[in-house]
Structure formats: C-alpha cells, structure tokens
Structure 1
Amino acid sequence: MRSKQILFLLTFFLVSVFCDEHSHIYEDNEEVVLWMNTVGPYHNRQETYGYFTLPFCIGSKETISHYHETLSDALQGVELEFSGMEIDFKADVGTTNYCQVQLTQAKYSAFVYAVKNHYWYQMYIDDLPIWGTVGEMEDNEYYLWTHKKFDIGYNGKQIVDVNLTSETKIKLTPDVKISFTYEVNWKKSDIKFEDRFDKYLDPNFFQHRIHWFSIFNSFMMVIFLVGLVSMILMRTLRKDYARYSRDEEIDDMERDLGDEYGWKQVHGDVFRSASHPIIFSALVGAGHQLTTVVFTVIVFAILGELYTERGSLLSTAIFVYAATSSVNGYFGGSLYARMGGKVWIKQMLVSAFLLPVLVCGTAFCINFIAIYYHASRAIPFGTMVAVTCICLFVILPLTLFGSVLGRNLAGTPDYPCRVNAVPRPIPEKKWFMEPPIIVMLGGILPFASIFIEMYFIFTSFWAYKIYYVYGFMLLVFIILLTVTVCVTIVCTYFLLNAEDYRWQWTSFLAAASTSGYVYLYSFYYFFFKTKMYGLFQTAFYFGYMALFSAALGIMCGTVGYVGTSIFVRKIYSTVKID
C-alpha cells in the first residue's frame, strides 16, 4: 500500500498527464498484458467491484514486465489486476485451460447472485476496453460462461482491435469443479491506430441531426434574446438619457417637484459592496477558474481526442484545474480588494479551498457507503494523500500568487459614481420584482438552451455511452454563456428600475439558478430514464449530480455577474451625475 501511495504522488508531479500507459508498439512475441478491471450490475454502472471479488481464478503466469496506475484510475475506481493469462504479440493460443474453481456453497451463491443481477465485467488489452457477461439465466437455471475467445487485430506493430466471444456455458451447481479456458487469435487488420477507438462510439445515439437541430433552436434563442436586450434596453435607456438630460436644464426647484424614478435614483448605492464579500468574491474567483477549466478541457478533448485514453480526460481536468488556480486568486482577490475587504488572507484561503472542500466532502461521504459495499469506487488512502498534496503544494501557492497579483494590479476601486455614506431605503415594489422571484425565473431560458445536450451528457456518464461530440459541447457551452449574460442583464435592469440596488447577489443567483433546474432534471432522468437501484448507486448519483449542479451554478453565476457588472458600469458612466 505504501508503494502505491508513493506511486500516486509521483504520477501527478513527475509524469505528464498526456503520457500513455504504454508506447503501444510491440515486437513479435512480445508480452501483451490482459488486465482484469471490475465487475458489477449492468444497470448500476458506478457500482463496481474488483474482478476477483467474484470467485474467478487467476492464470498461472505470475510476473509481468510493467505496471502503471494513475491518479485518475484510482479516482474512477479502476482496479487493474493481472489476469495471469499468457498472451504474446502475433502468437496464436489454442484452447488452453488456465485455472479451475471448486464451487463451494459460498462461491456458488456468489456466482448465482451475479448472474441473477446481470453482472458483467470489464478488461483491458493495450488500453482497449473489453466487456463480457458473467453468465445468463435460462429456464430458471443459472449458467456461467467459462471460455474466453479473443480475436485481436493488429496493424504493423500496433494493436488496433480486440473482440471477446464468451463460449462454453456451464450450469451452476454446488460442489462442482469448473475449468476456465481461453484462446487467442491474431488477425491482420486495415484499421489505422488513430481510428481504433471508433468502434466503441455510437453515432446512432449521438445523432448529429438532433445536435444541429438543438443548436439551431438555441442559436435562434440567442439571436432573439440579444435582439430583445438591445431593443428594449437601448430604447428605454435612450428615453432615460433624454429625460435626464432635460432634467439638467431645469432648475433645482423644478427638479425637486419632478417625478424622478428608475435606475438613476440608486446611483449612490449601486456600487455599494455586496453583502458577505468574502464568500461572494470567493465564488466569483472559483467561477472564473471553472469557466477557464471547462473551456480548456473541451478544446483539449476536441484536439486530442481524450476519450480514447483511459482516465486522460479526468487527468487533464485535474492538471488544468491545479494550473489555473492563479486565475481564481486573481479575480477573487481583486474583487475583494475593490469591495474594501481587509482580511485578504482569509478570503484567499476560502477561495482556494472552496471547490476542493466541496468535492472532497461529497466524495468523503460517498466513500463511506462505497467502503461498506466493498466497491472499487472507494477511494484509497494513498489517493487522498495525493489530492491533499495537490491542494497544499500546487493550488494554494498559485492562488496566493494570483491573489497578490490581483490586489496590486486590479484592486483599486474605480467606480463611475460615488457611494453614499448612508444606504438609500428600498421602496416597496410588486411581488414579481422581488429578488427571489427574479432569481427563480432567471435560470429557465439558460436551462432550455442546454436541455437536449444535458440528456446526452447524462447518458454518457450514467450509462454505457462514450461521449465524443465535444465540438457540439463547445457550441452549446458558448450559447449557454451568451443566454445567461443576456437574461441576467434584463433581470438586473428590471431590479434597478424598481430602485433596488442589491444587484450583485441577485445577478449571480439568477444566473446560477440554471443549476437548480439541472438538478431537478436529474431526478426526472433517474426515475424515468434509468434502471438504477440500491443505496450505493442512488447516493453516488444524487451526490455527484449535486456536485455537478453546484459547479455549473458557480460558473453560470460568475458569467452572469461579470456581464451584468460591465452593463451596470456602462449605463452609470454614461449618465452625468451631479
């Protein structure tokens, strides 16, 4: 265990996340390793256990020339164990008996339970995943597949295709000795190495016509919203500017008797610091970082096809998140300084550990259930140590650097209007203009713009589909940000026109409310689109969906606040204030 802990630490700090597990190049008769990964119920993808938790037996070969495990493997519950089967490059193997199992009552019950619950297992050859079923039911009898036939395609010195055929069905009965066999057939293939993962993709599910139709609808929504925002706001503001210009030409007596109202009346309070500035600035800093990470990882996935390498997408996300911690510190620290904050060390610590504590806290709670179930999703202690080291020795120093930089370069307040010493009382307004109502309504249109893509993303993560259409995801991501900014600007203008200057939190939460609708949709997806069951799968699903929704909310909230902040500064810098 200690050696694995050291390996996890060295993996992240010394090995690039873009490195492959192997060179993927083999000479004739060179060792090819068959890794046994996990086994679990078909309908509960995340409820996985080590392959040998079922009473399978291991082959006679004991040593291998290499072994590699990454941080992302441990976090994803990947437990690679050597199968013990001897496979050499281009060397056919006839039907070979590699081990036997004597079915005691306990082993018999374990296999029966696995067959009854539709267990299937996953293996890897040269990073290519292979799936197979443990057995099947027939006429209320339970049968176990005992023969594995591997058809491996090669192109030059590289493996480009692997197919598994399960054969030889043996009826499960107690106190019977079962022999497990395998055979390997090598075949020359015309598949190019860079195209070898295409067989795992499902273009029928990710229909491009549906994606284009969805994006077209969302794009039309964007055009409508941008046009609506431009027309309503510019027309209204033009009238306001004209009225305010006329007000400057009349004397003070007439101005006092005039019927002034609207957003100009709160010019002395609109740039007042938001309540709870430490939390607010930390959320905005984390939102800047998340937006940067999501955009960067999507671009990397498009350029590098990260889905073709096991764990590479998660490894890239961890690396990019740690490397962009200075972005969090810069924007969070500068905003806190502009709000007049004094305890900047506390703010920096909250900003640095807000998301890691949220993620680790959720994972820690789910980990207890995983340990109780003896599931492979239980995060090892060594991985926890590695994540802690990343937070302390990478994320914290970079956040501190960014925070100092932000305070010195962008921490000076430069508001176009002077802030009054005494806050102006907020007048009564109609119920639909209250901040809670605006917050609830603010997320509806942004959620509508990503609704269809959410279905594909959910299915790829919670079912057996590999998401690979990252170009569409990038377009949807840009549409989401655009719709969020437009909707939040409209909501903020209505709020300010009602002479309510509490726009910072309102704009943030109105944009972040999109995540609430996503989480509500996750309930619908769980009960009507999946067949998941059991405490572990339910806790895993709703726990990580809450985490996903929270991260989405922080990101959307930040984008909405930043767009609204630019709008507010623009309108108040244009109007001449006495």
Structure 2
Amino acid sequence: PTREEKMRSRSSLLVWICLMFAHTKSSQTFTFGESVTLWVNTVGPYHNPQETYPYYSIPICKPESGGELVKMSDRFGSKLEGNDLVESGLNIQYLSSVDSNKVVCKMKLDQVQVKQLTDAVSNHYWYQMYLDDLPMWGMLGEMLVVSGDTERTDDILSDSDQRNPQHDHTHSEERAYLYTHKAFSIAYNDDRIIEVNLTSEHPVPLTPNNEITMTYSIKWVSTSKPFFQRFDRYLDFKFFEHQIHWFAIFNSFMLVVFLCGLVALILMRTLKNDCARYTTEDGDLELDNVVDESGWKLVHGDVFRAPPNLLFFSALVGSGCQIFAVATCVIVFAVLSTVYDTRGTVTSICLAAYALTAPTAGYFSASYYKIHAPEQDEWKKCMILTATLFPGVCTSVLTVLNTIAISYASSAAIPFTSILGVLGIWLFICVPLILLGTILGRYNSFTGDFPCRVNAVVRQIPDTRWYMHPISLGLFGGILPFGAIFIEMYFVFTAFWNYKFYYVYGFMLLAFIILTIVTVCVTITSTYFLLNAEDSRWQWTAFLSGGSTAFYIFLYAIYYFFTKTKMSGFFQTCFYFGYMGLFCVGLSMMCGTIGFKGTSVFIRRLYDIKKD
C-alpha cells in the first residue's frame, strides 16, 4: 500500500475508535406530536443486580401494533455492561396524553407460563425502561397474602412483616399477582423531556387460561426545572454526602499526616545517626569499606541484587504502572466531566484509557528488566508477559462468567461482536503500544548505576522472628492502606451493587491520593524494618506490602456480600466474587507497584551516601 493509503487506513482506525468511545449526552429536542421512543431494557431479580434477562424472555405479550421490534444500536461500553435495549412498540407522542387505559396487548397464559411468571414475581423481578436516555424502573408484580376478604402486600425491601406474629393468618394463602397497567408521567420544559416516572398498577392474579389485558396511560406535566438538572433526581445526595463520608476523609488525612511524620522521623533521626558513621572529617571513607556495620548497612552488597523471578516481577511492575495510569486518567476525567448520566460511559473510558496507556506498561517493565539483566536478551518474553498478564487474568475470569451467563440465557453475556471489538483493541492498539514502550524502556534505562556494588556471593540471611519475615511484613503492610479507604469502598460497593449512581468522584480522587501516600509510607517503613533485620529481600516484600491492601478489601467484600446484600443463587454469587476478584487483582498490582516504586526511591536515597 502507498503512503496515502496507509494514512487513510490509520485515519479510519482513529475515527472508528472515537466513534466507539464517543461520550454523547441526550440533548434531543421535540416538537408537538413528534414520536418519542420508549425502550425496554432488561428484567431480573431485584436483589441480584447482574442476573438480568431480555425483557421479552418472560411470557409478556408484545404490542399488537405489529412489526419487528428494533434493537438499539447502543454504545460499546453499554453493551459490555449487559444492556439490551429494544423498542417497546408503545405509541408515545410528545405532549400527547393518553388518559384512558390504552390496550397494549392481550394474552392467555398456559400452565407453564403461569409458573414462569409466578417464579419471577416471587423472586421480585423488576424491569428497566429508557425514555430519552432517562431510566425508570417498575415491578413485574407482587405477592399478595389472601386471607378471607383481605389482602396484604409484602414489602420486597424488608421481611420484618413476615417475622411479625401479628401478621400470621391461619388460613392465609400467598398468591402471585401481575401488574397489568403502566402509568407514565413525563415532565417537560418547553421542547425537552426533564423527568420520567413509571407507576405499575392494576394487579391481577396469575391463573391459567385467564385473559389478561396489558394497558398503559401517559400524562404530560409542565415543569420549570432546567435541562441540566434533569438527572439530579437519580442522585442520592443524603447518602453520598453524608457527614460520615467527610469524617472518613478527614480521618484518612490525619492518618497520612501521622505516617508521613513517621517516615520523616526515620529519615531525620535514625538514618541521620546511622549515616554519620560513614562520613569522616577527611571524607575518604566509602560505604563498601566499613567494617563495623549493623542493621541495614550490612546488606548494602545485596540490596540492589535482582529479585527472584525477575521476568514475572518486571511484568507485574509494568502492569501496575499501567493500571495506576488508567485509574488516574479515569478519576480525573470523571471529576472534570459528568460520566454517571450516560450508559456505558465509565466502561468506555476505562477501555480507552487502558488502550492509550499501554506504552506505560511496556516502558516500565522493560526498563526494570534491562537494569537488572542488561546482558540477557529476553525483552520479547518480558513484553509478551506484560501484554498478557492482566488481560489474561481478566479473560480467564470473564470467560467463565460469560459461559455461565450464556447457559442462563442472560443479557449479562457479552455479545460476540463486543468480544471481537475488545480483542481488536488489545491486538491492534495495546500490543503495538506496549511494543513501543518496551523499545523505549530498553534504550532509555540506565544499567548498573547503583550507589553500591552488588556482591558476587549472596549474603546469608539470619534467622528472625516470625513478624519480621517478608511475608508477615507484607501482610501487615496492607492494613493501614485498607483502613484509609474502606469507608470509600463501602460507598463504591453500594453504588455498584445496590442501584445507586456514584457521582462523588472528588471523594474518590481524595481517597486515591490518600491511598497512594499511605501505601508508600507503610511500604517504606516495612522495608526499613526488613533491612534492619539484615534481610535484603525487599523488592517482593515492598510489592506484597502494598498489594496486600487488596487482600483485605476482598475480605471486606466477603463481609459485604453476607451482611449488606440479599444476593442469592449460583449466578449472582459467581458474578459478585468474579468481579470483586478481578477488581482486587488489579488493585493489588497497582498498590504493589506504588509501594515498590516509592520504596525504590527510598532505598536509593538511603544508600546514596556520598561526600560533597
């Protein structure tokens, strides 16, 4: 191909990427009588957020208007999140109210369909709809306790009534009722839709061969609320901006001050006294010639030795640097923009950031490997391992989850076209950029420029107490970083698993900065104790000290699952722990790299004792 053809192909690829990750907001205007499309999304158990199914997978009749229902050509990120929007077929016209119960369709249910709907109602199935990109939810039905001439509705959010003896009925019977009427209330301001509300009404008992008529009504209400505030009603201000949220940030900030003071104390007092032994009045005493040594000074000949499993460690460091860059880009972008009001936006931004920050992984993994193995020519293995490490873990877990979703016929299953899209992004964008970063890292890294020479013979490590072992220090190191962010984790978990829109990215940015500082301070302290115990195995210890934060977050996720949610079933349990496992793996790589990088600077400063 000619140069012009190559330029056109590259331009086409960039246009395709921009269209795929386009962040568009609904700003559509309408005129009187213009058709407004109502989209139905998914249906599933209220308490199992990921267990979703296509709306028409349940035996609900389709509109009698006829014609094939059209699927929305949705955003790439929205498809990855499991959204499956289909035209509802309801005739909605702008500012045209439907006061009477307009018939959608009629249906007669057989025994199998009644059982299917009864199971759905008893499991508190609800569905989601979209009108002008505004979501609304409705319950499929409700369980009514029938006793004589009385009926009582069970509250799906609380089972306190069921445990209360005063509600017991000797001859009561619980039956499933299906809501047959959808009442839409749409607020408008001039030529734009501001609010949408859905009320499910007219429950009828589910019995075989009983004709059920599905109806709807539409009411248009004028409002003075401006268009830019139309999504505010979905935000839980009282929850996310609660006083405890501010208090947690303040406590974490005080923890940062304490830890920074602790590290400063180590540097200013302990190290000052120790380093004074290496300087004489004539300034001709070198570190390598000291005889009377103790603590961290004894391991100066091994501290800059390459860590075990250098290739794997380099790939971990490179992957951690990339994840850190992705997290920084996404959080900063979310603070400066509005990402919570459009389906799939956060997912799309994460994918775009991961693809564009790929050179970071290649650069840092290759440069670290080159520093410690300048004569070995295994940079290709390092690049391949870096490119496949985290994506390989994600692919393994998501393949299992996708297989489960397909077996359940769930809309949570990632479409094949979306899988090809992700594969194309990794193959044609990530891998070449990682290769570019690897080349830059190989030729821009220094070699052998350490403050101390590395001894030819490895020094024997003395026996120490169990709490000074590298694994113990590593596990202890994750406690304080976890304590600094676990309150923020509660808000993030609640938003993700309990149908809330997370919008306080300023809090997340503060928590992210605090996590970074605390991780570095704790890792430096742990490493200093390790070196004072005459143990030079600090690289993996520093990485484990930071990465173990994810271990405690996973333990908290287990606690959250059993105490803060009502999730049940094999499907939802697999998705919950699968997603949390992936989150913790990525977090461990990132925090481990943060701790290791910060400690590397500390180690270099510690042993870089030279007389001016």
Classify the TM-score, shorter chain. over 0.9
Partner AA of 1:84 in structure 2: G
Question: How far is 1:61 from its partner?
Answer: 5.5
Question: How far is 1:185 from its partner?
Answer: 1.6
Question: How far is 1:70 from its partner?
Answer: 2.3
Q: 1:127 to 1:572 in 2, by over 3 A?
A: same
The SS at the match of 2:128 is strand
Partner of 2:153: none
Q: Contact between 1:12 and 1:71, CA under 8 Å: does it hold in 2?
A: no
Distance 2:403 2:586 in 1: 23
Partner of 2:85: 80
Q: Contact between 1:335 and 1:411, CA under 8 Å: does it hold in 2?
A: no
Matches within 5 A, 1:434-513: 434-513=469-548
For the pair 1:408 / 2:413, whether they are aligned, the reply is no
Question: How far is 1:531 from its partner?
Answer: 0.9
Q: Contact between 2:79 and 2:344, CA under 8 Å: does it hold in 1?
A: no
Q: Contact between 2:404 and 2:571, CA under 8 Å: does it hold in 1?
A: yes
Distance 1:199 1:249 in 2: 70
Distance 2:328 2:130 in 1: 30
Matches within 5 A, 1:57-136: 57-59=61-63, 60=65, 62=67, 67-94=72-99, 95-136=101-142
Q: Contact between 2:326 and 2:354, CA under 8 Å: does it hold in 1?
A: yes
Q: 1:541 to 1:309 in 2, by over 3 A?
A: same
Distance 1:375 1:223 in 2: 48
Question: How far is 1:271 from its partner?
Answer: 0.9
The SS at the match of 1:15 is helix
The SS at the match of 2:522 is helix
For the pair 1:312 / 2:345, whether they are aligned, the reply is yes
- Superposed CA deviations along residues 325-348 of structure 1, whole A, max 9, x for unmatched, are 111111111111112152111111
Distance 2:237 2:551 in 1: 30
Q: 1:65 to 1:142 in 2, by over 3 A?
A: closer
Question: How far is 1:250 from its partner?
Answer: 11
Partner of 1:285: 318
Q: Contact between 1:485 and 1:560, CA under 8 Å: does it hold in 2?
A: yes
Question: How far is 1:23 from its partner?
Answer: 4.6
Aligned residue among 267, 273, 278 for 2:306: 273
Q: Contact between 1:333 and 1:411, CA under 8 Å: does it hold in 2?
A: no
Distance 2:192 2:367 in 1: 52
- Superposed CA deviations along residues 176-209 of structure 1, whole A, max 9, x for unmatched, are 1111111122222222222111101112222331
Partner of 1:30: 34
Partner of 2:256: 222
Could you list the runs of 5+ residues in structure 2 that have no partner in the other structure?
1-12, 146-173
Q: Contact between 1:154 and 1:161, CA under 8 Å: does it hold in 2?
A: yes
Question: How far is 1:245 from its partner?
Answer: 2.5
Q: Contact between 1:21 and 1:68, CA under 8 Å: does it hold in 2?
A: no
- Superposed CA deviations along residues 80-121 of structure 1, whole A, max 9, x for unmatched, are 111111112222233310211111111111111111111111
Distance 1:49 1:65 in 2: 17
- Superposed CA deviations along residues 133-189 of structure 1, whole A, max 9, x for unmatched, are 001111112211111111111223221110011111212111111111111222222
Partner of 1:364: 399
Question: How far is 1:31 from its partner?
Answer: 2.2
Distance 1:14 1:469 in 2: 26
Distance 1:344 1:477 in 2: 32
Q: Contact between 2:21 and 2:77, CA under 8 Å: does it hold in 1?
A: no
Question: How far is 1:69 from its partner?
Answer: 1.6
Q: 1:170 to 1:208 in 2, by over 3 A?
A: same
- Superposed CA deviations along residues 319-371 of structure 1, whole A, max 9, x for unmatched, are 11111111111111111111215211111111112111111111101112112
For the pair 1:332 / 2:337, whether they are aligned, the reply is no
Distance 2:542 2:23 in 1: 42
Partner of 1:321: 354
TM (norm. structure 2) is 0.89
For the pair 1:418 / 2:453, whether they are aligned, the reply is yes
For the pair 1:144 / 2:150, whether they are aligned, the reply is no
Distance 1:307 1:444 in 2: 31
Partner of 1:562: 597
Partner of 1:161: 195
Q: 1:431 to 1:385 in 2, by over 3 A?
A: same
Partner of 1:45: 49
Question: How far is 1:57 from its partner?
Answer: 1.7
Question: Where in structure 1 do 4 or more consecutive aligned residues deviate above 6 Å?
Answer: 63-66, 247-252
Partner of 1:300: 333
Matches within 5 A, 1:160-199: 160-199=194-233
Question: How far is 1:494 from its partner?
Answer: 0.9
Q: Contact between 1:61 and 1:86, CA under 8 Å: does it hold in 2?
A: no
Question: How far is 1:301 from its partner?
Answer: 1.3
The SS at the match of 1:89 is coil
Partner of 2:9: none
Distance 1:362 1:66 in 2: 28
The SS at the match of 1:420 is coil
Question: How far is 1:372 from its partner?
Answer: 1.7
**Higher mean C-alpha deviation, range 223-232 or range 16-25:** 16-25
Q: 1:248 to 1:520 in 2, by over 3 A?
A: farther
Distance 1:146 1:29 in 2: 26
Matches within 5 A, 1:534-545: 534-545=569-580
- Superposed CA deviations along residues 16-68 of structure 1, whole A, max 9, x for unmatched, are 52332755222332221111111111111111111111111222253789932
Partner AA of 2:236 in structure 1: D
For the pair 1:378 / 2:384, whether they are aligned, the reply is no
The SS at the match of 1:445 is helix
Distance 2:20 2:122 in 1: 43
Partner AA of 1:177 in structure 2: E
Q: 1:160 to 1:411 in 2, by over 3 A?
A: farther
Q: Contact between 1:484 and 1:511, CA under 8 Å: does it hold in 2?
A: yes
Distance 1:57 1:248 in 2: 94
Partner of 1:6: none
Q: 1:58 to 1:65 in 2, by over 3 A?
A: closer
Q: How many equivalent residue pairs?
A: 566
**Higher mean C-alpha deviation, range 509-518 or range 430-439:** 430-439
For the pair 1:261 / 2:294, whether they are aligned, the reply is yes
Distance 1:57 1:291 in 2: 49
Could you list the runs of 5+ residues in structure 1 that have no partner in the other structure?
1-8
